[in-house]
Structure 1
């Protein structure tokens, strides 16, 4: 699921003609809204991404396969928390003049904590990222 999520987000940044709704193939709110908004702003500024991220590692931090149909604001399905380390060194973003908008000193990695939910469990094809937070890192180690 995590490689597909990363690939889809990259695809949306790389191809401005692709519909932003494609984010819902791999994410649900609130992450889907955050990602679609960021990608929309990126394209509105006529920036272009080059290169792709590479998943270095992913580890499961916790698994909760219970469902809470009474949860507010919406029913909570099974949830898995994953920490992923992603190599972003091959990714650049350029403006309309062809200049990079990525700081030269950007760290090579992002360490992402992803909350993955399945609103239609046990349907294995229904896992989606619901929240993603990340921090820049110099390495994937500890």
Structure 2
């Protein structure tokens, strides 16, 4: 009777416990490998094949075989970090640091200064034109 109880316990262990333990070990050994049940090697999303081993996507990329680059405003591992760039700047999709300054050549204050200067030139032109007309009219009236 003791032998049959041991046999049943061993059978339960073999049928129920070992597969669970083996699955955990195999899953750890094959992180990123989604081949099962496919016969050929297939890496999971956000992994790519490097010499027969599925490796996590390099920073700045994601997706199937790591073919997608981070969208604007995101960078780093699986594009999980948000850039802190200004609206007129573009962040590097790998590191997040400033990649390119898209600052316009004329800033708002320079543009405002140009408008004010143009306004003064128009006013001065009008004043000069009116003065010339008044002077000519005065000379014409004297004759």
Flag the structure with larger Rg: 2
TM-score range, shorter chain: under 0.3
Choose between structure 1 and 2: higher strand proportion.
Answer: 1
So what's the TM-score if we normalise by structure 2?
Answer: 0.17
So what's the TM-score if we normalise by structure 1?
Answer: 0.17
